[in-house]
Amino acid sequence: MRHVRGFDVVRPLSIWMLIFMMMPLVFLPLASIFIFGTSSGLGNFWAALNAPEAIFALKLSMVTSFWATTFNVLFGLFAAYVLSRYNFLGRNALIVTISLPTAIPTAVAGFALLLLWGPYGTLGRLLRPQGIQVMFTAGAIVLANIFVTFPLAFGVIKPVFDTMSRSLEEASATIGATRWQTFWHVTLPSLRGAIVSGALLTFARAVGEFGSTILVSGNLAGRTQTAPLYIFAKFNEGQIEAANAIAIVLALFSFLIFSVLFFARDWLDVD
Amino acid sequence: MKAQVARIMDLSRTPPLTESVPQPAASIVGLSKRFGQTSVLENISFDVAEGEALVLLGASGSGKTTILRIIAGLEQPYTGKIMLHGKDVTELPPRERGIGVIFQSYALFPKMTVEKNIGYGLRIRRRRRKEIKNTVNELLSLVQLEEHRKKYPSQLSGGQQQRVAIARTLAYNPEVLLFDEPFGALDAQTRVHLRREIRALLRKVNVPAIFITHDQEEALELGDRIAVINVGHIEQIGTPREVYNNPASEYVATFLGAANILEGTVTGGHVVVGNAQMPARLLNDRFQEGQAVKLIFRPEDVLVSKNQEFPTGHACLSGGVVEEISFVGAYERLRIRLEASSGGCDTSDTPFYLTTETPERSNAKPVIATRPKPESNAFRLRTGDRVFLGLSSFTVLPNDVRTSATSHSVITTSKQ
C-alpha cells in the first residue's frame, strides 16, 4: 500500500531511513567531538587550543598543505594541458600513473618516500654527505602531501580542458594573441572554477593527511608535528581535551571547505 | 552615428571598384590539402576583390571548411599559397595574418563582457586605453549593441552574439573576414533577417568577406560571387546569376536549386533529347557528332501551355501529361511525363520538334515544372491534362562520367 489517501508514504519513510542509517556512521561521531570538546567548558577548550604546540601543529599543517596545493594545482594544470591537447604514444599510461597515488595506501606512500629520501635511501644516501636532509623535516611533509594529493587537482581540471571548445583558442589566435596571451586571457578564466575546486580538494586532503606524514616527518612536537599527528600524540598521552580541541578545528575546517565547494560551484562556473 | 561609421570606413583599405585593375584583397593560389593518403582539396584557386563577398558553397565534407581554416592559418596546406593584399602569408601563424574569423559557434569569450570581447584584439596589441574605448564605442554603435555592452555572451541572443563576433574582428581592421557557416546555429526566420543585416553591414564597412555555407539560398543572397565546391575542387565560380542560370556542371545545377536533366546525343547537328530535337545552330563546335549530352533546365523555366503557342523567347520542348500537382505554398509544382504520342511541337518556327524515334527514353523521365500563383490561377490544370512544355532557358552540358568544371566545354543557350 503505497499511498494512503493520496499521501505518498514511501517518501517520508525513505528520507527518515536515510537519516537513521547515517546517524551512527557519520552524524554521531562528528557530534561527539563537539559534545566532548565543550563538556568541560569553553575556557578549557580555548586553553587547549592555545597551547604552543597545538598552534604550531595547526600552522605547520596549513603551511605544508599550502605548498603542496600550490605545486599540485600548477602541475595539474600543466599535465591536463599536455594530456588533453596532445596525443602521443604512452599518453594513457601517463594518465593512469598520475591517478595512481589515490589508490596507494598512504602508509605505503610514506614508506616509499623514506626509501628514496631517507638517510640510507636511494637518493638520500647521496645527499647526506652534502649535509642535506630531506626526511624528518617540513619539506618531507610537503613531499608526502604532494604524493598523496597528486591526482586531485589534475582530475578536476582535465575534464574541463577536454570539453573546452578549441574554437575559443583558435579565435584568440586569429585575433592576434600569442599562445601565452591566449592561455592567460581565454583558457585560464574558463578554468577558474576547476582550479579553485581542485585547490580546495587538494588542500582539504593535505591538511588531514596522517598515514604518510607520520612516517616521513618523525612526529617531533613543535618541529615536524602536524595537526593530525598532534591529535594522535595527545590521545596516546591521554590528553583527550588537547586532542579534542584540534579535532574540532580540523572538523570545522573541512566542513567549511566542503560548504564552499558545494555552494560556490555555481558562482565559480558562472559564465 | 554617421560620423562613427565614417571613421570605421576610413579604416578599411583601398576604395572598391577602382577603374584600374585592382589588386585582389585575397588570392588563393593552387591550394591542395591531404590528410594522410586522402586528398581533400585539389588545386583550389580564387581571388577575392576589395569589398567583395565570396561564398564557398558546398555540401558537408566538400572541403570548404578546410579552405577557410587554411586561409586563417589554423591548418597548413599541402601545396599552394595564400596572398593577402599581395603579401604571401602562407607561412605565417594565424595571429600574424590579420584575418577576422567568425566561427560557427561565434567563439565569444564567455568570461568577458561584450565590450571586453570587442576590445580584446586591441588590448593584446597593447593599444592605449582611450583608443580602445573609442573604437569599442564606435563598433558598439555600428552593430547596435550599446545597451548590451556590460552583458556576458551567454546573456545575448544568437544574432546579438554574432554581431559581437563581427565587431570583435572589425576592431583590428582585418584584411579579410571569414564566416564559417554563420547562420548554422539559428532558426530559419532569424537566419533570413540576419543575413540581410550582415550584407548591409559588410557594404558599410567595405571589408572583403568569404562565407562558408551549404545553404544555396543563403549563398545566392549573400554572395557577390559564389564558388561551388564539390569533393575538394571548385566546380564553378561566378556571380549568383551566372552560377544559377548557367551551371557549369550537373552538380552545380542540382546543388543550386532544382533542375530537370534530360539525356541526349548530338546527332546530325542536332541535340536529340528522346524524341525532341534541338537545331545545331544553338550548338558550339565543341560538341562533336554522337557526343552524349545533357539538357538541363530549371522548373521555373518551364512554361506550361494548352496549345503550342508560347511567348517569344520560349522554345517548345514537347507535349506531355500532367501526372501530379502539388501545392508548395509560394507556387504550384507539376510533375509532367513527356509523351510523344500526345503530340509534338510544330517544327516550323520553334527550335524544338518531335521525332518519332525512341520515345521510350523521354517517357522514362518526368519533368518538374513550377508555376507562380497568378499563372496557376489563370490557367488551372488537373492530373491527366495534356499540355505542351516550353523552355525559357536551358543549358547543354557534355554527359561525361564525371562532369566537372575543369572541362570548359560548356556552352549555354539561354535565349532571354
Mean pLDDT taken over chain A: 89
Residue B352, pLDDT score: 36
A127 plus A234 within the same structural domain = yes
Mutation target vs B (from A168, A174, A184, A266; most B CBs, 10 A cutoff): A174
Searching chain B, which residue's CA lies closest to the CA of residue A179?
B95
* pLDDT at B218 exceeding the cut of 50: yes
Interface subset of A 139-168, CB within 8 angstroms of B = 165, 167-168
pLDDT tens digits along B255-285: 888 888 887 777 766 677 766 665 544 555 6
A52 plus A71 within the same structural domain = yes
Quick one: CATH architecture of B258-412? Beta Barrel (2.40)
Residue A58, pLDDT score: 95
pLDDT tens digits along B278-326: 554 455 566 777 788 888 888 888 888 887 777 776 766 777 788 889 8
Chain A / chain B CB contacts < 8 angstroms: 74
B120 with A172: Cβ contact below 8 A: yes
Quick one: CATH architecture of B2-245? 3-Layer(aba) Sandwich (3.40)
How far does the CA of residue B101 sit from the closest CA of chain A (Å)? 7
- Residue B122 contacts A where some CB pair is shorter than 8 Å: no
Interface ipTM: 0.76
pLDDT tens digits along B361-393: 444 467 888 888 888 888 888 888 888 888 887
Residue B19, pLDDT score: 47
- Residue B255 contacts A where some CB pair is shorter than 8 Å: no
Residue B100, pLDDT score: 94
Q: What is the mean pLDDT of residues A20-29?
A: 90
Higher-scoring residue by pLDDT: B294, B9:
B294
A172 with B110: Cβ contact below 8 A: no
pLDDT tens digits along A119-137: 888 888 888 888 888 889 9
A31 plus A53 within the same structural domain = no
* pLDDT at A70 exceeding the cut of 60: yes
Domain count, chain A: 2
- Residue A92 contacts B where some CB pair is shorter than 8 Å: no
CATH of the domain at A119: 1.10.3720.10
Residue A248, pLDDT score: 92
Q: What is the mean pLDDT of residues B229-255?
A: 91
Higher-scoring residue by pLDDT: B259, B152:
B152
Q: What is the mean pLDDT of residues B18-28?
A: 74
CA A257 from centre of chain: 10
Residue A219, pLDDT score: 87
Residue B27, pLDDT score: 94
Higher-scoring residue by pLDDT: B89, B262:
B89
A150 plus A50 within the same structural domain = yes
pLDDT tens digits along A160-190: 999 888 899 999 999 999 999 999 999 998 8
A141 plus A10 within the same structural domain = no
Q: Which range of residues forms the domain containing residue A9?
A: 1-37
Among B74, B95, B109, beta carbon nearest to A176: B95
A33 plus A71 within the same structural domain = no
Residue keyed to cell 592561455: A183
A93 plus A227 within the same structural domain = yes
Q: What is the mean pLDDT of residues B30-48?
A: 91
